[in-house]
């Protein structure tokens, strides 16, 4: 078992290195860093216990508190991939069980050190409490994560890693049910059953590390555009001479992206994809069947605008059209209602982007329309 533990801890450190230095920094990336850190600490603690703690009851029975955070972390990762503008701070409360178990774990450890022996009753209370709490948490959140990603369209790479890590966590908890059942049937083999279940759990933690490493490498391969030898050589030269990594000049971009841009832009306009308030780069890639890294390169290098600027320009154009139609029909004008209809998710983002793109506030824009058409009455503005 010690070999599985030390290999798993080493694998977690390797995966941490990949995420820390080779991937883009993002909320989801940091969540995997926390998950790998938790696994590394968990397995390191177990390695120390198995090799340096002499008391057999602690070696074989005392649960580690860190396992209670595995389910919540994969759930938060799933939220970061399915919810727009997701903030981890809004879900701080799901880590309360982790802090409770951590306090209990270190308190009991200190008690055993002070007493210089293990209080079996206190150990049993802690083990039973931690066992049921970890089981409930790591059953609920992985199941919720799987259901969430099945309902939401996300990249296959992200779907696979979320689903597979969730299944690994679920299998660990199913092992708990299996061990309890077997102990009732075959109480004489308690030590063998416990060792087998623990070894399986540590092996699954190693698998989780491998899944994250695989996802990291797979994402990196997708992110690198296919280039011929001349393009690769040009990339190297530009990097050497610090030319802001511009691989292609304006003419080259026009040749490379002209047709692809027309395909995407036409789809955004005709299908009115911009009216989806939860639209993000991943979803746009799925709906247009264009690689998200190509979309990002087209927007930033070819059109020189970020994703949300591009989408919000269409939303504002749609907003202006429905305002014009309302004026023509003599209807009441509700800016906020029209903004939601255009695809904006909040009043603040609508006002900010409208001012940034049009150069006027929505009220100033409306007043200029009224002034131009000499229609100073009969309209009601409500925001």
Cα separation, 57 vs 302, in Å, equals 65
For 83-114, the DSSP string reads STT--GGGGGGGGHHHHHHHHHHHHHHHHHHH
Cα separation, 314 vs 197, in Å, equals 56
Whole-number pLDDT of residue 214: 81
Contact by Cβ (8 Å): 185, 218: no
Give ∠ CA 255-257-263 in degrees, rounded to 5.
Answer: 125
Question: H-helix or E-strand containing 143?
Answer: helix 120-151
pLDDT tens track for 185-207: 776 666 676 677 777 888 888 88
Whole-number pLDDT of residue 235: 43
Contact by Cβ (8 Å): 249, 312: no
Whole-number pLDDT of residue 138: 93
pLDDT tens track for 318-374: 999 998 888 888 888 888 889 999 999 888 889 989 998 988 888 888 888 877 765
Write phi, then psi, for 241 (nearest 5 degrees): -100, 15
Whole-number pLDDT of residue 163: 93
Whole-number pLDDT of residue 27: 67
Whole-number pLDDT of residue 243: 41
**Ranges under pLDDT 70 in the chain:** 1-27, 52-61, 84-85, 180, 183-184, 187-191, 193-194, 218-256, 373-383
What is the Cβ-side half-sphere exposure of residue 136, based on CA atoms within 13 angstroms? 9
Contact by Cβ (8 Å): 4, 195: no
């Amino acid at each position: 078992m010690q070999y599985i533990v030390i290999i798993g801890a080493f694998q977690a450190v390797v995966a941490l290195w990949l995420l820390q230095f080779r991937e883009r920094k993002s909320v989801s990336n940091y969540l995997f860093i926390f998950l790998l850190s938790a696994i590394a600490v968990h397995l390191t603690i177990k390695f120390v216990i198995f090799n340096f703690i002499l008391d057999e009851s602690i070696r074989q029975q005392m649960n580690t508190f860190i396992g209670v955070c595995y389910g919540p972390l994969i759930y938060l990762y799933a939220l970061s991939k399915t919810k727009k503008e997701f903030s981890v701070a809004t879900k701080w409360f799901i880590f309360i069980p982790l802090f409770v178990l951590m306090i209990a774990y270190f308190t009991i450890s200190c008690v055993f050190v002070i007493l210089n022996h293990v209080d079996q009753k206190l150990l049993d209370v802690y083990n039973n409490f931690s066992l049921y709490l970890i089981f409930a948490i790591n059953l609920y959140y992985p199941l919720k994560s799987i259901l969430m990603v099945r309902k939401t369209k996300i990249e296959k790479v992200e779907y696979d890693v979320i689903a597979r890590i969730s299944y690994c966590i679920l299998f660990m908890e199913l092992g708990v049910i299996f061990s309890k059942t077997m102990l009732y049937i075959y109480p004489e083999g308690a030590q063998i059953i416990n060792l087998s279940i623990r070894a399986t759990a540590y092996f699954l933690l190693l698998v989780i590390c491998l899944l994250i490493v695989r996802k990291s490498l797979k994402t990196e391969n997708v992110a690198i555009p296919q280039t011929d030898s001349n393009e690769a050589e040009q990339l190297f030269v530009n990097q050497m001479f610090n030319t802001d990594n511009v691989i292609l000049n304006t003419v080259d971009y026009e040749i490379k992206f002209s047709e692809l841009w027309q395909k995407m832009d036409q789809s955004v306009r005709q299908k009115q994809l911009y009216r989806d308030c939860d639209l993000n780069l991943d979803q746009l890639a799925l709906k247009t069947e264009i690689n998200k890294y190509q979309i990002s390169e087209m927007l930033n290098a070819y059109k020189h605008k970020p994703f949300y600027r591009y989408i919000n320009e269409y939303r504002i154009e749609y907003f202006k059209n429905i305002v014009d139609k309302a004026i023509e029909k003599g209807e009441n004008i509700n800016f906020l209602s029209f903004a939601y209809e255009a695809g904006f998710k909040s009043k603040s983002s609508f006002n900010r982007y409208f001012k940034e793109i049009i150069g006027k506030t929505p009220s100033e824009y409306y007043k200029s329309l009224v002034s131009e058409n000499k229609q100073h009455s009969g309209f009601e503005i409500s925001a």
